[in-house]
């Protein structure tokens, strides 16, 4: 099993301190983050596309998580978790409607005041892919990267406000907090 994502390892003690112990790993992949969090005392739900869930059916890591869900089951569920993990998922979703659906589902399963940790590939301004590249959705390479400002623009309408972020060589990670009940935003 590969190491958990850098942001998950870096921020897990913060989430422990906040008593954000119920977690949804949304786009769990090989379950590296799910397993790390479960081993560190969090109660973990893992979700992925139906075809990936099928591949995980006999994965030993399943013994450590509360439940594995396919995304179609997640759409109508309300897990009310304290924390949603999303590492290297949002930047590979290229369709804007699918991105909207992904965020809407994440928020629907997150309690008011809960956290979303997002880590995505980031763009390096010094290595612009092409002089003609002005629209990041129009360029195949740039479309798979985001900055924290772009994340803010996409996540703020869902009542998610950034409370921390950092960059490293090829990635940006940010923690967002969902508005408390009295500040709910209509999506």
Ligand X SMILES: C[S@@+](CC[C@H](N)C(=O)[O-])C[C@H]1O[C@@H](n2cnc3c(N)ncnc32)[C@H](O)[C@@H]1O
In the numeric block, which tokens belong to residue 122? 């980031």
Interface mask (CB under 6 A) for ligand X, residues 101-130, using x and -? -x----------------------------
Crossing angle between the packed helical segments 96-108 and 148-155, to the nearest 10 degrees: 70
CB of 23 to ligand X, least distance (A): 12
Residue tagged 């935003």 (tokens)? 185
Residue selected from 23, 32, 38, 46 as contacting ligand X according to rule CB under 6 A: 32
Kindly report the backbone phi and psi dihedral angles of residue 69, in degrees, each rounded to the nearest multiple of 5, phi listed first: -120, 145
SS3 37: helix
89 contacts ligand X (rule: CB under 6 A): yes
In the numeric block, which tokens belong to residue 155? 């996540």
Helical H runs in the chain? 6-17, 32-39, 50-55, 71-74, 96-108, 148-155
- Yes or no: say if 180 and 113 are a contact pair by the CB < 8 Å rule: yes
The residue number with the shortest CB distance to ligand X is: 29
87 contacts ligand X (rule: CB under 6 A): yes
Nearer residue to ligand X within complex by CB, 37 or 89: 89
Of 43-82, which residues contact ligand X (CB under 6 A)? 48-49, 52, 71
Binding-site size, ligand X (CB under 6 A): 19
CB of 136 to ligand X, least distance (A): 19
Residue tagged 């009295």 (tokens)? 182
7 contacts ligand X (rule: CB under 6 A): no
Residue selected from 21, 62, 70, 93 as contacting ligand X according to rule CB under 6 A: 93
Kindly report the backbone phi and psi dihedral angles of residue 65, in degrees, each rounded to the nearest multiple of 5, phi listed first: -105, 160
Residue tagged 């928020």 (tokens)? 107
Kindly indicate which of the ranges 26-34, 109-117, 132-140, 151-159 contains the residues binding ligand X, using the contact rule CB under 6 A.
26-34
172 contacts ligand X (rule: CB under 6 A): no
Distance CA 143, CA 96 (A): 11
Site residues, ligand X (CB under 6 A): 5, 26-30, 32-33, 48-49, 52, 71, 87-89, 92-93, 98, 102
């Amino acid at each position: 099993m590969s190491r958990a994502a850098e942001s998950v390892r870096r921020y897990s003690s913060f989430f422990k301190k906040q008593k954000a112990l119920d977690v949804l790993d949304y786009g769990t992949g090989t379950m590296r983050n799910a397993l790390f969090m479960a081993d560190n005392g969090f109660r973990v739900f893992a979700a992925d596309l139906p075809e990936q869930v099928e591949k995980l059916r006999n994965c030993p890591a399943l013994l450590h998580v509360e439940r594995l869900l396919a995304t179609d089951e997640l759409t109508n569920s309300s897990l009310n978790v304290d924390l949603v993990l999303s590492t290297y998922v949002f930047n590979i979703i290229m369709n804007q409607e699918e991105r909207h659906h992904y965020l809407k589902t994440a928020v629907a399963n997150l309690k008011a005041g809960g956290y979303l940790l997002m880590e995505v590939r980031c763009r390096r301004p010094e290595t612009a892919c092409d002089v003609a590249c002005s629209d990041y959705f129009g360029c195949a390479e740039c479309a798979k990267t985001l900055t924290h400002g772009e994340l803010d623009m996409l996540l703020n309408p869902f009542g998610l406000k950034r409370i921390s972020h950092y960059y490293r060589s090829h990635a940006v990670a940010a923690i967002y907090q969902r508005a408390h009940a009295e500040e709910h935003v209509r999506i």
